[in-house]
C-alpha cells in the first residue's frame, strides 16, 4: 500500500510540473519619475514629471517580444526665455525580441524619426535572492536584487547651445518573480534574467517601476517575431549614429529656442 501511495504522489507531482504555464502575455504599467535639470542663460531650472505608460510581453516557445501598447502624450514644457523643451521617454516605440535558448536579443529602436535594428546578446546580471516573498496577481513571488551600471546623458543649455555629457549611473534593481510560471520573461531589457516571470520591478528607488496588471495564459506565438530591416547595427554602431543625429539637431537649433530632448 505504501508503494502505491508513493507512486501516486510522484505522478501527481509530475502532473503539476506539466501543468505549469509556459506561454502567455503580461501587461505592465510603468511609472517613471523624471527630473530634467537645465541651465538656460545662467538660470538653473528643474522640471519634475511623473509619467505612466503601458507595455506587454508575449512569451512562449523559448522566446519573448516586449512592446508598448499604450503611451501618454509627450508634453512640451516651457523652459523660459522662449525655450520649449519636449520630454520624451526612451523606448516607447521600441520592440525587443529575445531568444532565451540562444541568448540573442534583437531590438527595433526608433530615434528622431529613424528606425534602427540593433543586434545584441543578453547581458546577465548578478542577482541576490533575499528570501522575501509576497503575492502578486495570485502568484507567489520571490524577491531578488542586483545593481545595473548604465550611461546617462546630462544636458546643459546656455545661450542657445546644448552641451551633452555622458555619466555613469549605478542603479539598484529590485525584482519580484514567480517560479509558478517558469519562464525568464519580464519588463524591457530584463529578459532571460531570473528562473521565473518577473511581475514587479523597481529601478533606482522608484525612478522607474513596472507593475504587472494582468496575466493571460493565452498567447499568439506568431506575434513573437524577430525585428527585421535592411541594415543591422551593433550597440556601438547605434550609439555612434545616435550621437551624430544629436549633433545635427544641436547644430540646427543653435541660437534658437526650440529643443527636442530625449530623456534617457
Note the pLDDT tens digit of each residue in 78-92.
445 555 555 545 556
> In this predicted structure, what is the pLDDT of residue 166?
72
> In this predicted structure, what is the pLDDT of residue 101?
95
β-bridge mates for residue 212, sequence order: 28
Angle at 172 between CA 213 and CA 109, to 5 degrees: 65
pLDDT in tens, 150-191: 766 666 655 556 666 677 778 999 999 999 999 999 999 999
> In this predicted structure, what is the pLDDT of residue 26?
98
Angle at 33 between CA 30 and CA 35, to 5 degrees: 150
264 vs 170 pLDDT, higher one: 170
> In this predicted structure, what is the pLDDT of residue 157?
59
Is residue 200 pLDDT above 90, yes or no? yes
Arithmetic mean of pLDDT, 109-124: 92
| pLDDT category of residue 15 using cuts at 50, 70 and 90 | very low
Element housing 73 (H / E): none
| pLDDT category of residue 227 using cuts at 50, 70 and 90 | very high
Q: What are the C-alpha distances in Å from 45 to residues 26, 62, 80, 158, 242?
A: 38, 47, 9, 12, 26
pLDDT in tens, 28-76: 999 998 766 665 566 666 677 788 999 999 999 999 999 999 655 554 4
* Choice among 6-15, 26-35, 116-125 with the minimum mean pLDDT: 6-15
Arithmetic mean of pLDDT, 22-26: 95
> In this predicted structure, what is the pLDDT of residue 63?
97
Pair type for strands 76-80 and 63-70: unpaired
Dihedral sign of CA atoms 133, 135, 140, 143 in order: negative
> In this predicted structure, what is the pLDDT of residue 138?
97
Dihedral over alpha carbons 233, 235, 241, 246 (to 10 degrees): 150
> In this predicted structure, what is the pLDDT of residue 254?
55
Task: Quote the CA–CA distance of 65 and 86 in Å, as a whole number.
Answer: 28
Q: What is the mean pLDDT of the chain?
A: 80
Amino acid at each position: 500500500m505504501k508503494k502505491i501511495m508513493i507512486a501516486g504522489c510522484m505522478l501527481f507531482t509530475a502532473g503539476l510540473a506539466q501543468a505549469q504555464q509556459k506561454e502567455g502575455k503580461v501587461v505592465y504599467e510603468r511609472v517613471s519619475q523624471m527630473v530634467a535639470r537645465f541651465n538656460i542663460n545662467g538660470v538653473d531650472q528643474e522640471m519634475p514629471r511623473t509619467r505612466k505608460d503601458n507595455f506587454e510581453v508575449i512569451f512562449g516557445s523559448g522566446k519573448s517580444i516586449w512592446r508598448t501598447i499604450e503611451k501618454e502624450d509627450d508634453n512640451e514644457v516651457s523652459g523660459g526665455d522662449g525655450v520649449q523643451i519636449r520630454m520624451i521617454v526612451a523606448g516607447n516605440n521600441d520592440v525587443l525580441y529575445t531568444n532565451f535558448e540562444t541568448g540573442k536579443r534583437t531590438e527595433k529602436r526608433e530615434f528622431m524619426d529613424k528606425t534602427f535594428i540593433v543586434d545584441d546578446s543578453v547581458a546577465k546580471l548578478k542577482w541576490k535572492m533575499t528570501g522575501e516573498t509576497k503575492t502578486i496577481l495570485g502568484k507567489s513571488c520571490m524577491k531578488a536584487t542586483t545593481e545595473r551600471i548604465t550611461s546617462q546623458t546630462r544636458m546643459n543649455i546656455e545661450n542657445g547651445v546644448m552641451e551633452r555629457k555622458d555619466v555613469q549611473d549605478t542603479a539598484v534593481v529590485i525584482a519580484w518573480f514567480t517560479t509558478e510560471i517558469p519562464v525568464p520573461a519580464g519588463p524591457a531589457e530584463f529578459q532571460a534574467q531570473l528562473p521565473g516571470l518577473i511581475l514587479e520591478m523597481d529601478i533606482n528607488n522608484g525612478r522607474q517601476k513596472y507593475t504587472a496588471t494582468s496575466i493571460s495564459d493565452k498567447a499568439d506565438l506568431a506575434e513573437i517575431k524577430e525585428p527585421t530591416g535592411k541594415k543591422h547595427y551593433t550597440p556601438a554602431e547605434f550609439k555612434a549614429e545616435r550621437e551624430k543625429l544629436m549633433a545635427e539637431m544641436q547644430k540646427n537649433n543653435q541660437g534658437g529656442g526650440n529643443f527636442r530632448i530625449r530623456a534617457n
